[in-house]
Copies of this chain bind each other. A is one copy, B any other.
């Protein structure tokens, strides 16, 4: 294995820190290999039941849903330490597609093996529920942003969430974190048009709220940005279970 499990980025993720650490030990046993993919590679697609599950080791991607006519809703960004394919294990099919947007390295698991373990071991299985509930929590927050907030608020919300997460994951240096997406991706994540996203970004850059170019997101005053984005304080996601 090219990465020692001890250094797996998953261990830095707030999501997994809240899980029983034994679960990670168990998961290791079901690792069947690693996978390296290029930007644009589809990892899973909506409606399919992929036999492989992944954790993201490095690089980034997108989860999204498509409408027949091509409109796209980006559900969330995929960062190192994320778990991919929960739904193809629990439901029969993926409810969204996943695609790499940079070079990615992934840790590969066999779906049925891994889920068999989760299904039959009480303590482990509960961590799966935690994962799903965490996703659910995020989606509710995103839905509220898209449904109720202005363009500026939405962008501030998204940027500060990304910034905080990647900082916590140790991905950034100083006041910058990597954010290797196109403006179109952000637009599709927030339910805005590309042009309007661009203009709003420009305005926010002028006002020194943040800057994002060349895949690098720089935020000087994260708290101001969070306030602008009406970000709720996150008392839950990183806290251990009951």
Contacts and interface: CB of A to CB of B under 8 A. Distances in A.
A146 interface: yes
B140 A65 contact: yes
Contact of A133 (B47, B90, B112): B90
Contacts of A71: 148-149
A1 interface: no
A129 to B, nearest CB: 5
A143 interface: yes
A30 interface: no
A interface bracket (residues with beta carbon within 8 Å of B):
35 or more
Given A67-B144, A122-B122, A132-B129, A137 B87 contact: yes
A92 interface: yes
A146 to B, nearest CB: 5
Contacts of A141: 65, 95
B73 A147 contact: yes
A140 B95 contact: yes
A181 interface: no
Interface in A19-53: 47
Interface stretch (A101-109, A171-179, A213-221, A234-242): A234-242
A41 B89 CA distance: 37
25 contacts: A65-B141, A67-B230, A71-B148, A73-B140, A73-B147, A75-B144, A87-B133, A87-B137, A92-B242, A93-B235, A93-B236, A95-B137, A95-B140, A96-B140, A112-B242, A118-B126, A118-B129, A120-B122, A122-B122, A125-B125, A126-B128, A136-B139, A146-B147, A147-B190, A148-B191
Interface of A: 47, 65, 67-68, 71-73, 75, 86-87, 89-93, 95-96, 112, 115, 118-123, 125-126, 128-130, 132-137, 139-144, 146-149, 188, 190-191, 230, 235-237, 239, 241-242
